[in-house]
Amino acid sequence: MKSLAWTLLLLAAAPAWAFDIDRLQAVGQRDFRLLSEDVGAALSYHPQTPTEPLGVTGFDVGLSLTMSKVANKDALSRASSSSVPSYIPIPTLRANKGLPLGFDVGLMYSKVPGSDIALWGGEARWAFIKGGIAAPAVGVRGTYTKLTGVDQLDMSTKGLDLSASKGFAMLTPYVGVGRTWITSEPHVANLSKEDFALNKFFIGTGFKLLLFNMNAELDRTGHSTAYSLKAGIRF
């Protein structure tokens, strides 16, 4: 687990990923909307955990790396004084805690390497069907994320999704659909705030061996596709 965590950190720290959003005055309203869709999709909440509840004594703590495809690279490039990568890297420290009655809560924090972009967020999830040997777990989740560290831009996302998961030995596949609402407010004179919503679809699987836990996930939010890998402990 330690070697995988270091691999994720090294990948995320590569200089090729470094960029900042520091030239919003150089873009028009249409490009601002397009780059807001890309950045908002990348910074929206990626579940990276099955639906089944952790239980009152349960914890899930891990380090993840999400690589989110930039669908409108030209628009984002005009808003940055540095080269924009094809994928936005989002290394994240994540923790989830089980509560009674099928409820779970989670927190996350991220700092995009080589840039001023940082992110924090959280989730509250309720598995109204807890699942079992023959039945899948089914739950609803509410999420929130907030961009920090960018002087020219305030951005936040809110999300709501429905997901299901079913364990098979050490594997627990899951799938979900939802909606993400993005608020993107520029701090330059020539642009106006954008409020919009994007559809979200995600599919993934968890792998658990004793306390060790891995999770792989594919997420499609709007026109942006993101790939995530998480390693940590779950009990």
Q: How many domains does the chain have?
A: 1
pTM value is 0.90
* Exposure of 144 in the CB half-sphere (CA atoms within 13 A): 4
Answer yes or no: are the C-beta atoms of 157 and 40 closer than 8 Å: yes
Positive/negative CA dihedral, 123, 180, 32, 193:
negative
* Full residue range of the structural domain in which residue 146 is found: 2-234
Q: Quick: pLDDT tens for 65-116.
A: 999 999 999 999 999 988 888 998 899 999 999 999 999 999 999 988 777 8
**CATH number of 129's domain:** 2.40.160.20
Cα(72)–Cα(76) distance, rounded to whole angstroms? 7
Q: How many residues does the chain have?
A: 235
Helix (H, G, I), strand (E, B) or coil at 95: strand
Positive/negative CA dihedral, 198, 203, 208, 214:
negative
Could you tell me which residues are beta bridge partners of residue 92? 64, 110
Q: Quick: pLDDT tens for 45-70.
A: 999 999 999 999 999 999 999 999 99
Answer yes or no: are the C-beta atoms of 91 and 65 closer than 8 Å: yes
The answer, yes or no, to whether residue 16 has pLDDT greater than 80, is: no
Helix H or strand E segment including 30: helix 29-43
